Structures are given as C-alpha cells and as structure tokens.
C-alpha cells in the first residue's frame, strides 16, 4: 500500500480504468442530459411521493419526474400500482433530495 498526499492506495486500484477520454465522454453525456430542459407539457398531472421513514409527502408533477428519471418513468407509466394510484413510497430515501420540488 502506498500513500500520496494523504491518500492511500492499494494494488487493486491499478485495475481501475484511468482513461481520461472515456471519463470525458461519460461526463459530457451526463451534462447533456441535465442540460435538456423540460417543456411546458411536463407540468400536467401531480403525483405523490412519500419519502423517508417518516413518509414525508411531496406533491410533484408526474411528467417532470419522468422526464429526468427512468425509475419514475417506469413506475408511473407502467402497469404498476404506483401508476394506477399516482403515489409512490420511498422509505429508504432521504427527504432532503425532494425539497427541490417545493
């Protein structure tokens, strides 16, 4: 194990791909997804997201969640009970994440 500037590494870190070009492509892909803006069509129906062990309830535009998240897109547009009820429970998530929607 070696140490550089207070950081320790071990031999298993040598297997990590350190190709900066690959990282750049991945980073730009993520940035391009986040740079897309939802249209006015994303502000239609409202769903309820209950978050954390205390089940803090958030009323959020369904299509806005679905625009940015494959998880919510599948849950609210599939044949799941969440789609039928317009409500999803996420007891293991931190409610702080969802305060951006209020």
Q: Total domain count for the chain?
A: 1
For the domain that residue 68 is a member of, what is the CATH number? 3.30.710.10
- For the cut 70, the answer to whether the pLDDT of residue 82 exceeds it is yes
CA dist 86 → 41, 45, 49, 70, 90 (Å): 18, 9, 9, 16, 14
The pLDDT of residue 70 is 94
- For the cut 70, the answer to whether the pLDDT of residue 92 exceeds it is yes
Residues 6+ apart with CB under 8 A from 45: 61, 62, 63, 86
Domain range for 70: 40-101
- Has residue 11 been placed in a domain? no
- Has residue 68 been placed in a domain? yes
- Has residue 3 been placed in a domain? no
Q: Residue with structure tokens 């071990």?
A: 10
- Has residue 57 been placed in a domain? yes
* 7-65 pLDDT per residue, tens: 444 444 444 444 444 433 444 444 445 557 666 665 779 999 999 999 999 999 998 89
State how far the Cα of 101 lies from the Cα of 90, in Å rounded to an integer: 16
The pLDDT of residue 3 is 46
């Amino acid at each position: 194990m070696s140490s550089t500037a207070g950081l320790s590494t071990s031999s298993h870190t040598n297997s990590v791909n350190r190709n900066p070009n690959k990282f750049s492509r991945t980073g730009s892909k993520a940035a391009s997804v986040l740079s897309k803006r939802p249209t006015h069509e994303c502000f239609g129906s409202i769903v309820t997201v209950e978050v954390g062990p205390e089940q803090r309830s958030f009323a959020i535009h369904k299509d806005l969640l679905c625009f940015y998240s494959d998880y919510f897109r599948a849950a609210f547009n599939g044949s799941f009970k969440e789609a039928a009820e317009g409500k999803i429970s996420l007891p293991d998530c931190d409610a702080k994440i969802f305060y951006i929607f209020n």
